[in-house]
Amino acid sequence: MRSVRLLGSVLGSALLLLGLAAAPAAAGSTPSADPSGDPDAPTEAGTSFRTATEIGQGQRATASGSAGDYLYWSFPADTGQRPTVRATVQLPEAHAAETWQLDVYDGLRRRQACQYGAQTRTAPRDASSVELACVLRTVRAWSEPWANDPLPGTYYIRLTATGLATSDLGLPVDAEVRVGSEDVGGSAAVDGSLAEPLVPGIASRPERDTGHAEDGDSAVLSDLEPEDGWASGRWSDRWVWTAAGGALAALAGVGGYALTRGGGRPSRVPPGV
């Protein structure tokens, strides 16, 4: 009976450890806040990597332009995040078939492949809008120099039309982009980290932020970073799962010993005792 009670306590402790280990992972998978109604949302886009407009994750950015323009935005992505970029282009009332493309580049301006999503789409003749999406691979804390893995730092969004009829060049369009991410956690952790995140870009700041009136937009060093700062591999819930696994192994050993040892007096008692 004592062995059964001991085994029950071992199983209870194991379930408690599993719950504690799963808590950080569940907290990290919370979806991004609804970006609608943000008064500070950017309303312009840059025309190159150098003048890319900064946006934060969970923020909605809009811009007006002309068909044939290149529109650029930039956002931060940290270790363990899997960013998702979505774009919607509102087209003029009358137009020919148009092909639009959404590209994402890292801080070294290397084009990043999309895991899935409609990165390129053709809008039929006179369609009112076209929607694009790109789900990137999980951002790694460290990578081999020859690899093209996504690393923590600045990421650039480029939106443009790749197939236009001559009659559609210069027609007005309205674009909207949104960036969110899923926190993958320790399942994507690696042994290693960058000394600094890849934030080499230049970002366009509005006049009201810089105080320079002579040129309207002033180029300054980018200060993009996540709300909680750069992690760069310092912490991962993999440590929690490792500790929980060690504790479970120890508890399993104690429970197994209790079951095999048995309890009470020996079944055979020597004569005369």
Per the CB < 8 A criterion, the answer to whether 175 and 88 are in contact is yes
pLDDT of 202 > 80? The answer is: no
Compute CA 25 distance to the chain's CA centroid, rounded to the nearest angstrom.
14
pLDDT of 165 > 80? The answer is: yes
pLDDT of 146 > 50? The answer is: yes
pLDDT of 139 > 80? The answer is: yes
The burial class, CB within 10 Å (0-12 / 13-18 / 19+), for 97 is middle
pTM greater than the 0.85 cutoff: no
114-122 average pLDDT score? 93
pLDDT of 40 > 50? The answer is: yes
pLDDT tens-place string over residues 180-197: 988 876 655 666 677 778
Per the CB < 8 A criterion, the answer to whether 24 and 185 are in contact is yes
Tokens of 250: 């120890």
Task: Tokens 């931060």: give the residue.
Answer: 76
pLDDT of 240 > 50? The answer is: yes
DSSP 239: H
Domain boundary assignment for the chain: 1-30+231-261, 32-227
- CATH architecture under which domain 32-227 falls: Sandwich (2.60)
pLDDT of 87 > 90? The answer is: yes
219-227 average pLDDT score? 59
CB atoms under 10 Å from CB of 269, counted, come to 8
pLDDT of 99 > 50? The answer is: yes
